[in-house]
Structure 1
Amino acid sequence: MVGQILLELCFLFFVGSCLGWCAEVLFRRFFSAKKWINPGFLTGPYLPLYGFGLTFMYAVSFIPVDTGSVWADKLILIIIAGVLLTLLEYIAGLIFIKGMKIKLWDYSKQPGNIQGIICPLFSLIWTAAAAIYILFIHGYIISWVAWFVNHLGFAFFVGLFFGVFIVDLAHSLNLSVKIRKFAKENHIIVSFEKLKESVKDSIERGKERAAENLQKGRKMLDERRERSGRRHASFLFAFKGKSVQDMLADYLERFKKSKGRGESGAGDKDTEQFGDLRGDDKDE
């Protein structure tokens, strides 16, 4: 019995993490950032926060509430789920900021926010999501879980997911050690999304510069290919076949080296970029 419950929870975490990632990607593409972004701290297409969120909502839906009114019962469950989701978001954000010096999201510009981690607007959004789940989705999730229990062969894929997830998590935590050290040395909280964007921008600038050089005369082209081609290639090919985490780790090392050498030009540009990575909370 305990084993079956554990399998069900793992299945819910798997479904919630993957669907949550899809929802975040679409939200950032069409509403917030207006571009395609791989959200979260991990490389793969999953967000653990949403996995825990779905698991919590599933559990909350089974809390025995009997006020004599079906709608009052559902309203109470919705409020409980909304509070739990907000609390989950706050705890997760606090762990990353205080423990790893990394800010995965920032609500500091939202009215009534607490430490930039939670705010009334998104608490309302989570409560609305809980309402949609309890009123319209919970029945389907129960059917999915029942199907999973009757087709335990699918547990292989859930196990495969957790295998990949654990490796990804270990790799990401290893990266967080580098970021945390960098953040403590510079007395900042690193905005992870801005850090990823800065890496992407640097790669794009390298490509643009290479393209500009190729448009120049044949004589200058041969000279510049040798001079700047090596410069850009060393930057671009260093990232070939690597994950986002590897890119970030390498970029941090490059930034620290250029800062230590006091290089002009590229070094100043890196310093300018990392100035934008500062969070609102300073390291105390």
Structure 2
Amino acid sequence: MNTPTLVIEQQFTLWVLYFFSYAFVGWVWESGYVSFKKRQWVNSGFLNGPVIPVYGFSITAVLVLLHPVENNLLLLYLGSAVLITIIEYVTSWLMEKLFHARWWDYSDIPLNFQGRVALPISAFWGVGVVFVVKVVHPVVARFVTHLDVKYGIFAAIVFLAFFMFDFGFTLANVLAMGAATKRIGDAIDQKKQELRDSVDTAAAKLESEHGWLDDYRQHQGDMAKLPNLSWVQRRLLNSFPHLQLHDTKTPPKDIADLAELLKRRRKQGK
């Protein structure tokens, strides 16, 4: 193998490994933060594996595009804040168009734009990226170099293979989720309306936190024609606290609660 080819192969391997390293670091940070808030472990990534690709894309983009100014902290901070804000906005827009859902929403944060990005969040990411570049990256670089020396391009190919399988599996589940959640959401809305239109005791039941769900527990036949949600679909409903489904007005938490009840009922019936 000639020298130019070796250089290309090594650069390809290094950047693929950097991408997955920071996708993993981002997953640890995001899942840890959400888990701390919920007081239970939550895989808050879109994919099932321990990676969040937007973090991998963001940090590798910073390392490539802002390398000339990495020793100027002010320019590194400003450039990182702008670059990651653009990536976050584009990612939010694409995911919403592709999957008919808003996966995060900054509408409650001051100085936000369309709820997709917000100035305080961008300022935070600027500080975070400066910390990553100056403190975390030297450690990651040593780890990536070790993998490259020991396994070479084989390591990059293995990571890419697992990533593509995970992405395809998740994509199939998400594309099927819209129709299923709409059916469940419509059923929940209908159940709530039935309780509103019925006697006072039923109306009082509706006012309780999960009165409509208690009614489903008592009338199992109402669930017979509802679709099952896969564990991937149920995980996504629970992992994104600000998820907004465009195909139904029913809150994702209500859909997740009924889906969990459906799973338990059908498991008991086997």
Q: If the TM-score is normalised by the length of the shorter chain, which range does it land in?
A: 0.5 to 0.7
Q: Answer with 168-177 or 115-124: which moved more.
A: 168-177
For structure 2, the residue ranges without an aligned partner over 5 or more in a row are 1-6, 184-209, 238-247, 256-270
Which residue identity lines up with residue 67 of structure 2 in the other structure? F
The superposition leaves residues 41-71 of structure 1 with CA deviations (integer Å, 9 ceiling, x where unpaired) of 2122211111112212322452257xxxx5x
Distance 1:9 1:180 in 2: 35
Distance 2:124 2:178 in 1: 31
Distance 2:180 2:147 in 1: 44
Which residue identity lines up with residue 49 of structure 1 in the other structure? V
Q: CA RMSD in A?
A: 3.9
Which residue identity lines up with residue 244 of structure 1 in the other structure? V
SS at match of 1:63: helix
Query: Would you say 1:79 and 2:65 are equivalent positions?
Result: no
| CA 141–59 in structure 1, closer or farther in 2 if over 3 Å, else same | farther
The Cα shift of 1:274 comes to 5.1
The Cα shift of 1:33 comes to 3.9
Q: Within 5 Å, which residues of 2 pair with 1:165-244? A: 165-180=163-178, 243-244=231-232
Query: Would you say 1:7 and 2:5 are equivalent positions?
Result: no
SS at match of 2:113: coil
Aligned residues: 210
Provide the residue aligned with 1:151 in structure 2: 150
The Cα shift of 1:136 comes to 1.9
Distance 1:102 1:114 in 2: 17
Q: Give the percent of matched residue pairs that are identical in Structure 1 and Structure 2.
A: 25
Query: Would you say 1:19 and 2:25 are equivalent positions?
Result: yes
The superposition leaves residues 111-168 of structure 1 with CA deviations (integer Å, 9 ceiling, x where unpaired) of 1111111101210111011110233223333323332332225x54443332222112
Which residue identity lines up with residue 90 of structure 2 in the other structure? I
Which residue identity lines up with residue 101 of structure 2 in the other structure? I
Q: Answer with 134-143 or 38-47: which moved more.
A: 134-143
The superposition leaves residues 218-267 of structure 1 with CA deviations (integer Å, 9 ceiling, x where unpaired) of xxxxxx9xx96x999999xx67xx54237779xxxxxxxxxxxxxxxxxx
Q: Is the 8 A contact 2:173 2:232 kept in 1?
A: no
| CA 34–87 in structure 1, closer or farther in 2 if over 3 Å, else same | farther
Query: Would you say 1:38 and 2:43 are equivalent positions?
Result: yes
Distance 1:104 1:271 in 2: 15
Distance 2:235 2:74 in 1: 46
| CA 55–45 in structure 1, closer or farther in 2 if over 3 Å, else same | same
Q: Is the 8 A contact 1:112 1:119 kept in 2?
A: yes
Provide the residue aligned with 1:121 in structure 2: 120
The superposition leaves residues 59-94 of structure 1 with CA deviations (integer Å, 9 ceiling, x where unpaired) of 2452257xxxx5xx2321222122111111111001
Q: Is the 8 A contact 2:100 2:178 kept in 1?
A: yes
The superposition leaves residues 174-220 of structure 1 with CA deviations (integer Å, 9 ceiling, x where unpaired) of 233234557899xxxxxxxxxxxxxxxx9xx79xx6xxxxxxxxxxx
How high is the TM-score relative to the length of structure 2?
A: 0.63
